[in-house]
Chains A and B, each alone.
Chain A
């Protein structure tokens, strides 16, 4: 709290992105964790905008204007707040406070260390154990004839940024493992990422070899051979360097580099050409400039989109992921993937290949497992890449965001194969930057252990699971689940993700949401089925087929009164509701200005949920159940 100079400023204007719209007038509050803007509207309704300090990317004071002192706040969630203060002094105070609040220096200042979602220690422990990488290894069928779960890295001595348990080929000796680790950048030796039961082909990951111009390492060569031998279907393995060839060659001069095909028996070497973190950071920067342009022409927008290179990079990640999945599934070849350190591009393409190969990772829980496995435990440097703390800005890069976008691009091509919807991806993205839960704090498992995150913070996953009804994809069909995804990677099949990068420009989104409609219908379906069963029972009782357990039959009608409403159209909630809106920006774009209509603004899904008591058992279970019935009856 010591950083807050002025906790409350009145008469602050929130300027609209669209110049023709009227801006809001309201009060700004600073709390220890949030910036809150409360808009005072004429009918005494309140619209609240809450912004977590950790979500603030930058605060910028713009030149003084006749109407006041403007302050521009950019968020890591791609929200943009343009505030206008009446007094220069207030603006300066808020500016100073936010600069400090948005850039915590020490880990302990992160929100997760304050936040308690009303859980006891037992809940906390269970929450952390909920997603287990070890379980996922068993799901893949490990240990088996070829692969085993090894505890060699128990104390993080072989590789400090790797998890404590590793999947290794059975016939790799300890000497080979440790020797290979010494020949790899930061000791990140080749280990199992995913084992494909049907083809026995494995997806493995590591960092670049310290081959320099001439060095070689017998143990590393034996390690790759061990991986190759673990797959009897094929005499060779692919070694995929996800970097552009030029970058990899430059690394050779520094004693790193890539595998020399002549030194390894039976490898096929491949470059994939995904650019480095700096190029990705700049690309996003350019993309966001396009997103925040004021009334751009179509030409400005398309040219900007092209010049940002963003979709080109997304395509390069997708292409690499598709290559891996094809190798494993169609060619039955094991693949070893690396980039430089093996924690950015390698994480992207391995996790993407897993999604393409295995329907489990397309479920709500499966995606959690995948993120836990390929990203968190394999040491993707979340703290550095997301800039949780005030550290080197050159370490920040949207690597994880790109992965989420690739998943979204896939969901656009395959609308029925993901259990979750777009909101799940966006929520995960927000949570990664929010530091409200401990999962994405720190850069590797060892760091997290040292920070004692499991004792001091809570896990995000139980929270997401509790709210999973919001994240369901109503079109999800289990019958399709066994299929391997073969997406098209033609440029014209990649779209700009408006839902993410212009998330807070509500006016740009469709005014009626098919997703909300269908979610509310599936909700209704659950209630309808429940009511029907109850009515059938009552009829049976009335007919005398069933004995009457509870006396006369006039109570049920009252009991069911909430569901009486269900056959009618979704209940409409007007925009002027008192419920705090996390994001009060309900404006529209374009010349079709002004409030469009109250009906479209409301969220039919939200009101539907209010109708059902949340004490009922998890909605999801019901939906799953009823959905299966649907398939049977059809």
Chain B
């Protein structure tokens, strides 16, 4: 298909762009296969380049022959384009609509994007399971790397290499897989070096109404327990929801069959509910006519902050079981691709200082989200402004980022990256020139030949000149477990994302710059002092023979 067919009017002059807290720009609007571009043709005003993929929905209005298109983006920005001429306006609107809702992955921008920078370090090669396993091997010999899912036939949403207990053979794995939703049998998620405890993740067991059991599954998870030790199964669903799942063939581990495990139910919302929560939150953030009471009541009704609190609480619980109780943990919900990953990845941020570095955090996203089969493409197909009925869209990953931000806010010196890094990740999950978040699983990405045809986000981010923006100037490596507070008073609305376009950031940016300045100046000063000391010491040694009487 040619994009040209979809572009009814490629350019219109005299278009006026309105953006909140920015001066209006008048210029020429151009549509290309992947971008909406507005350029004033003046050197000093910036151009607007908007990926069609970033457009969540549009609205059009007419006053006389002046048309107005309101463009609502997936990064939550709302811009307005005043287009002279009704026909032009209608053409532009329908072109944008067509171009922003292309179904085929292979038509996405990453397949057309050619980087203007030299790829020095290929992001596709950065985080390979073999490397992670080497680290694990240096700590314990209880685990092995299984190739049972080499052709993705045992579990289509798992990667080809999986870390499993050494004593469990591939045949048992297959049997356990048939007992778990989507074939997602228990695999290693995290090894806690301090005490050798582990966190595993899986999907729900298919016990059904008649209480099916699977010896291999039991054996598999028991293999991770030390002799005489008990473990915890954290089911991210309430007991009621888990009970209901039985009717649809799912369920939860029966105490009788898993006597060494204690099951705890938490109440993280399912993904379809989360999308509703995001829509409500963004709606109330954008409505400036609210009274204080209405704002607070809308914020409460959106449930967003409740979701943040519940996810963080569950992650703390998992981390607590491992670090404080010295017990191993198995985490699952229903499919094991959403709430499960929120919990396992956040628990690692709490427990493992390496996850708080930039590389470590990237590796965590790669391991616990991309390779673990979080269906990014489905979840991020639409954002808060979509008009249509949500299919499988859900801000699962955004909630994870929000939780990380909450921890970062409480431990501002413990992370190598800053808030901008998290916001950048949020943007790229919804629309990007890079293909890292395309596809729903490793299998899909392999099939799309992403690593050959497209550029990885990490290839770009990790370049020193890009990375600079994302470095936290306050970072001081800290090898401790960091326990965030989950009291409601401690959790704030993530203004950097949700109020980003509703406020002027001038003052906050200045504050950030000032902070960077203080820190940089101090470093400089200490360097100068040290170099002066050396000079002086040198002079003294040279002069000392003369000075002795």
A residues at B contact (CB < 8 Å): 291, 295-303, 305-306, 309, 311-312, 315, 413-417, 474-475, 477, 480, 488, 490-496, 498, 502, 505, 507-514, 517-518, 521-522, 524-525, 528-529, 531-532, 535-536, 538-539, 542-543, 552-554, 556, 563, 566-567, 569, 588-594, 596-597, 599-600, 630, 633-634
Assuming the contacts A475-B511, A510-B412, asked whether A502 and B488 have C-beta atoms less than 8 A apart, the reply is no
Are the CB atoms of A415 and B521 closer together than 8 Å?
Answer: no
- Interface 1/0 per residue, B261-298 and A, CB below 8 Å: 00000000000000000000000010010111111110
- Interface 1/0 per residue, B183-211 and A, CB below 8 Å: 00000000000000000000000000000
Asked if B244 CB lies within 8 Å of chain A CBs, one says no
Q: How many angstroms between the C-alpha atoms of A554 and B543 in the bound complex?
A: 11
Asked if B313 CB lies within 8 Å of chain A CBs, one says yes
CB distance from A482 to the nearest CB of B (A): 15
Q: How many angstroms between the C-alpha atoms of A495 and B528 in the bound complex?
A: 42
Are the CB atoms of A539 and B532 closer together than 8 Å?
Answer: yes
- Interface 1/0 per residue, B510-547 and A, CB below 8 Å: 11001101110110011011101101100110010001
CB distance from B314 to the nearest CB of A (A): 9
Are the CB atoms of B486 and A306 closer together than 8 Å?
Answer: no
Considering the complex, give the chain A residue whose CB is closest to the CB of B307: A298
Q: Which residues of B contact A597 (CB under 8 A)?
A: 480-482
CB distance from B347 to the nearest CB of A (A): 11
Q: How many angstroms between the C-alpha atoms of A509 and B412 in the bound complex?
A: 12
Q: How many angstroms between the C-alpha atoms of A589 and B511 in the bound complex?
A: 29
Q: Which residues of B contact A298 (CB under 8 A)?
A: 300, 305-306, 308-309, 488, 491
Considering the complex, give the chain B residue whose CB is closest to the CB of A630: B521
- Interface 1/0 per residue, B315-329 and A, CB below 8 Å: 011011000100000
Assuming the contacts A532-B528, A592-B319, asked whether A492 and B488 have C-beta atoms less than 8 A apart, the reply is no
Q: Which residues of A contact B309 (CB under 8 A)?
A: 297-298
Considering the complex, give the chain B residue whose CB is closest to the CB of A306: B296
11 A-B residue contacts at CB 8 Å?
A491-B295, A507-B487, A509-B490, A510-B410, A510-B411, A511-B485, A512-B413, A514-B515, A525-B521, A528-B526, A567-B530
Are the CB atoms of B507 and A309 closer together than 8 Å?
Answer: no
Neighbour of A291 across the interface among B411, B489, B529, CB < 8 A: B489
Are the CB atoms of B529 and A528 closer together than 8 Å?
Answer: yes
Q: Which residues of B contact A512 (CB under 8 A)?
A: 410-414
CB distance from B293 to the nearest CB of A (A): 6
CB distance from B533 to the nearest CB of A (A): 6
Asked if B121 CB lies within 8 Å of chain A CBs, one says no
Are the CB atoms of A588 and B514 closer together than 8 Å?
Answer: no
Q: Which residues of B contact A514 (CB under 8 A)?
A: 412-413, 474, 515
Q: Which residues of A contact B240 (CB under 8 A)?
A: none
Assuming the contacts A494-B292, A505-B487, asked whether A593 and B543 have C-beta atoms less than 8 A apart, the reply is no
Q: Which residues of A contact B490 (CB under 8 A)?
A: 498, 508-509, 589-590
Are the CB atoms of B515 and A518 closer together than 8 Å?
Answer: yes
Asked if B227 CB lies within 8 Å of chain A CBs, one says no
Are the CB atoms of A502 and B485 closer together than 8 Å?
Answer: no
Neighbour of B484 across the interface among A311, A521, A592, CB < 8 A: A592
Are the CB atoms of B484 and A590 closer together than 8 Å?
Answer: yes
Q: How many angstroms between the C-alpha atoms of A521 and B523 in the bound complex?
A: 10
Are the CB atoms of A495 and B492 closer together than 8 Å?
Answer: yes
Asked if B392 CB lies within 8 Å of chain A CBs, one says no
Nearest 3 CB-CB pairings of A with B = A592-B483, A301-B488, A415-B511
Neighbour of B525 across the interface among A296, A528, A588, CB < 8 A: A528
Are the CB atoms of A297 and B292 closer together than 8 Å?
Answer: no
Q: How many angstroms between the C-alpha atoms of A606 and B300 in the bound complex?
A: 39
CB distance from A537 to the nearest CB of B (A): 10
Are the CB atoms of B293 and A569 closer together than 8 Å?
Answer: no
Are the CB atoms of A302 and B299 closer together than 8 Å?
Answer: yes
Are the CB atoms of A311 and B316 closer together than 8 Å?
Answer: no
Q: How many angstroms between the C-alpha atoms of A480 and B510 in the bound complex?
A: 10
CB distance from A45 to the nearest CB of B (A): 21
Q: Which residues of B contact A552 (CB under 8 A)?
A: 547
Q: How many angstroms between the C-alpha atoms of A532 and B528 in the bound complex?
A: 7
Are the CB atoms of A529 and B511 closer together than 8 Å?
Answer: no
- Given contact pairs A303-B297, A492-B499, A521-B518, enumerate 15 new A-B contacts (beta carbons under 8 Å): A302-B300, A306-B292, A306-B293, A475-B511, A493-B499, A509-B490, A514-B412, A518-B518, A521-B519, A589-B487, A590-B487, A592-B486, A597-B481, A597-B482, A630-B517
Considering the complex, give the chain B residue whose CB is closest to the CB of A485: B507
Are the CB atoms of B306 and A493 closer together than 8 Å?
Answer: no
Assuming the contacts A493-B503, A592-B485, asked whether A543 and B521 have C-beta atoms less than 8 A apart, the reply is no
Within 8 A of A (CB), among B211-239: none
Assuming the contacts A528-B526, A599-B480, asked whether A510 and B409 have C-beta atoms less than 8 A apart, the reply is yes
**Listed residue (B350, B489, B503, B517) with the most chain A CB atoms within 10 angstroms of its CB:** B489
Are the CB atoms of A416 and B510 closer together than 8 Å?
Answer: yes
Q: How many angstroms between the C-alpha atoms of A474 and B290 in the bound complex?
A: 35
Q: How many angstroms between the C-alpha atoms of A162 and B308 in the bound complex?
A: 52
Q: Which residues of B contact A554 (CB under 8 A)?
A: 540
Asked if B502 CB lies within 8 Å of chain A CBs, one says yes
Considering the complex, give the chain A residue whose CB is closest to the CB of B317: A591
Q: How many angstroms between the C-alpha atoms of A489 and B485 in the bound complex?
A: 29
**Listed residue (A297, A490, A538, A553) with the most chain B CB atoms within 10 angstroms of its CB:** A490
CB distance from A569 to the nearest CB of B (A): 6
Are the CB atoms of B413 and A517 closer together than 8 Å?
Answer: yes
Are the CB atoms of A542 and B511 closer together than 8 Å?
Answer: no
Q: How many angstroms between the C-alpha atoms of A590 and B511 in the bound complex?
A: 31
Assuming the contacts A517-B413, A525-B522, A592-B316, asked whether A490 and B488 have C-beta atoms less than 8 A apart, the reply is no
Q: How many angstroms between the C-alpha atoms of A553 and B491 in the bound complex?
A: 56
Considering the complex, give the chain A residue whose CB is closest to the CB of B531: A535
Are the CB atoms of B293 and A312 closer together than 8 Å?
Answer: yes
Q: Which residues of A contact B480 (CB under 8 A)?
A: 596-597, 599-600
Are the CB atoms of A302 and B411 closer together than 8 Å?
Answer: no
Are the CB atoms of A599 and B478 closer together than 8 Å?
Answer: yes
Are the CB atoms of A302 and B474 closer together than 8 Å?
Answer: no
Q: Which residues of B contact A496 (CB under 8 A)?
A: 489
Are the CB atoms of B536 and A525 closer together than 8 Å?
Answer: no
Q: Which residues of B contact A556 (CB under 8 A)?
A: 536
- Interface 1/0 per residue, B393-428 and A, CB below 8 Å: 000000000000000011111100000000000000
Q: Which residues of A contact B170 (CB under 8 A)?
A: none
Are the CB atoms of A543 and B492 closer together than 8 Å?
Answer: no
**Listed residue (A298, A305, A311, A477) with the most chain B CB atoms within 10 angstroms of its CB:** A298
Q: Which residues of B contact A315 (CB under 8 A)?
A: 292
CB distance from A512 to the nearest CB of B (A): 4
Neighbour of B300 across the interface among A299, A569, A590, A600, CB < 8 A: A299
Q: Which residues of B contact A553 (CB under 8 A)?
A: 536, 540
**Listed residue (B474, B487, B539) with the most chain A CB atoms within 10 angstroms of its CB:** B487
Q: How many angstroms between the C-alpha atoms of A230 and B324 in the bound complex?
A: 72
Q: How many angstroms between the C-alpha atoms of A237 and B540 in the bound complex?
A: 74
Assuming the contacts A302-B300, A514-B474, A594-B324, asked whether A474 and B485 have C-beta atoms less than 8 A apart, the reply is no
Asked if B22 CB lies within 8 Å of chain A CBs, one says no
Considering the complex, give the chain B residue whose CB is closest to the CB of A303: B300
Considering the complex, give the chain A residue whose CB is closest to the CB of B414: A512
Asked if B116 CB lies within 8 Å of chain A CBs, one says no
Neighbour of B485 across the interface among A517, A590, A599, CB < 8 A: A590
Assuming the contacts A415-B507, A415-B508, asked whether A596 and B522 have C-beta atoms less than 8 A apart, the reply is no
Asked if B476 CB lies within 8 Å of chain A CBs, one says yes
Are the CB atoms of A591 and B293 closer together than 8 Å?
Answer: no
